[in-house]
Amino acid sequence: MGLLMFLLVAGLVGFGLFRRAMMHKIFSQAAHPPQVVTTQILAMTPWQPSFETIGSLRALEGAELTSEVAGIVRQVNFRSGERVKAGQLLVELVDDVERFSVVSQEAGLELARLTLKRDQAQAAIHAISQAQLESDEAEVRSRTAQCDQARAQLAKKRITAPFSGQMGITMLSPGQYLNAGDKIASLETLDQLRVDFTLPQQYLGHLTTGQTVRLSFEAWPGKTVPAHVVAYDSQVQAATRNVAVEARLDATTLRLLPGTFAHVTWEYGKSGPQLTLPQSAIAFNPYGATVFVVHRDKATEPQVQQVFITMGDTRGDQVAVSGGLKVGDEVVTSGQLKLTSGMPVKISHQAAPPDAAYPTPQEH
């Protein structure tokens, strides 16, 4: 009887403990159900260090043509959008007064030269003084300068192209009064363009002339144009700690215009394998960047553990990881907002975040 009583009591106590454990497990799972997440197995990915920025196109030679003197337009010798050559006459202003002034100054110069020639003959026989001869020579030099000045004033009435290029739109018409400094039209060399952009100072060690950058434009999606670095500024901008860079490109492949906005991709350094993650997998806090790593155990559901990582460069949707993870680690890429260390998770791959090196805008 004693043995039976002991076995009965032991069975009741064991059943109570088993029931309590099962109830605790049920309530625990109800309070913390597995979080549905997407994951990615880390592997080495080919990586080319690069930096993306924005730039602006500028003509190799460009100018806003203006008139140095005021006057009435006599003739306009070009049309809007026309290609012109260096030295080609573009605009003629009324120049009657200036031409008459040149004729007058040339006549005075001719008289001064005749006077000097006559006095030189007189000086040879000592008929006039040396002072008179020197005065005649000074008069010739003065008249020559006045004649050159008159010719220069006349030349300012004719505006010519300083270099070959394409004219912009003009509003100029014959008979119109043109003030000094008024815009005639813009002149740009569209076949040779430059792109101006800036780089942070930490990349100065990788920057050299002759490097190639790739340009892309919103007007021509999917197309890129190479450009070669020809110069960079001699100082870093104190306000932004950036350095200005200039690259030259061949604009004949696309119809590019100065002032066009360009996406600039600059590749530097040597390419090599890197551990990469989608940017959405990384969480930031005051102590650093973290990710959740999945640990699998056959006896239990997969659980996650928060791990601090060291980030490298970024490229599109990808981030290079230089510390904290290793090849083969399974990292949560989405659904980690409600996760804590030790929480069970349920793996799904139906809505994995983008992980493209060179993403393009998508609308769904």
Judged against a pLDDT cut of 90, whether residue 288 lies above it is answered with no
Give me the pLDDT at residue 27, please: 45
pLDDT winner (highest mean) among 302-306, 315-319, 337-341: 302-306
Distance CA 65, CA 90 (A): 10
Give me the pLDDT at residue 186, please: 94
Q: Is residue 322 part of a domain?
A: no
Q: Is residue 23 part of a domain?
A: no
Note the helical H segments in the chain.
2-31, 96-124, 130-155
Distance CA 62, CA 230 (A): 18
Judged against a pLDDT cut of 90, whether residue 280 lies above it is answered with no
Give me the pLDDT at residue 312, please: 84
Judged against a pLDDT cut of 60, whether residue 22 lies above it is answered with no
Look at residues 228, 234, 265 and name the one whose alpha carbon lies nearest to residue 60.
228
The answer to whether residues 169 and 221 belong to one domain is no
Total domains in the fold of the chain: 3
Q: Is residue 296 part of a domain?
A: no
Q: Is residue 245 part of a domain?
A: yes
Signed CA dihedral, 337, 341, 344, 345: sign only: positive
pLDDT winner (highest mean) among 118-132, 190-204, 249-263: 190-204
Give me the pLDDT at residue 13, please: 58
pLDDT winner (highest mean) among 146-160, 297-311, 317-331: 146-160
Please tell me whether residue 311 adopts helix, strand or coil conformation: strand
* Mean pLDDT (whole number) for 215-227: 89
Residue 60 neighbours by CB under 8 Å, 6+ apart: 189, 192, 193, 194, 248
The answer to whether residues 184 and 84 belong to one domain is yes
Judged against a pLDDT cut of 50, whether residue 228 lies above it is answered with yes
- The pLDDT tens digits of the residues spanning 8-19 come to 656 665 666 556
Q: Is residue 127 part of a domain?
A: yes
Does 5 or 178 have the greater pLDDT score? 178
38-77 burial, b for 16+ CB within 10 Å, e for fewer? bbbebeeeebebbbebebebbbbebeebebeeebebeebe
The answer to whether residues 161 and 87 belong to one domain is yes
Give me the pLDDT at residue 29, please: 47
The answer to whether residues 182 and 67 belong to one domain is yes
Does 26 or 1 have the greater pLDDT score? 1
Judged against a pLDDT cut of 50, whether residue 30 lies above it is answered with no
Give me the pLDDT at residue 21, please: 55
The answer to whether residues 163 and 70 belong to one domain is yes
Look at residues 11, 53, 108, 82 and name the one whose alpha carbon lies nearest to residue 265.
53
Q: What is the CATH number of the domain that holds 222?
A: 2.40.30.170
Q: Are strands 71-76 and 242-250 parallel, antiparallel or unpaired?
A: unpaired
Q: What is the CATH number of the domain that holds 164?
A: 2.40.50.100
Give me the pLDDT at residue 33, please: 74
The answer to whether residues 209 and 252 belong to one domain is yes
Give me the pLDDT at residue 28, please: 47
Distance CA 133, CA 110 (A): 16
The pLDDT > 90 percentage for the chain reads: 50
> Torsion angle, CA of 238/242/243/246, rounded to 10 degrees?
-130
- The pLDDT tens digits of the residues spanning 63-116 come to 999 999 999 999 999 999 999 999 999 999 999 999 999 999 999 999 999 999
Judged against a pLDDT cut of 70, whether residue 325 lies above it is answered with yes
Distance CA 58, CA 61 (A): 8
Give me the pLDDT at residue 15, please: 60
Domain extent for 141? 95-155
Average of per-residue pLDDT values in the chain: 86
- Kindly calculate the radius of gyration of the chain based on its CA atoms and give it in whole angstroms: 41
Q: Which residue matches tokens 């930490």?
A: 202
The answer to whether residues 87 and 102 belong to one domain is no
Q: Which residue matches tokens 């006039």?
A: 128
Judged against a pLDDT cut of 60, whether residue 174 lies above it is answered with yes
Task: Tell me how many helices (H) and strands (E) the chain has.
Answer: 3, 23
The answer to whether residues 116 and 225 belong to one domain is no
- The pLDDT tens digits of the residues spanning 334-343 come to 888 888 888 8
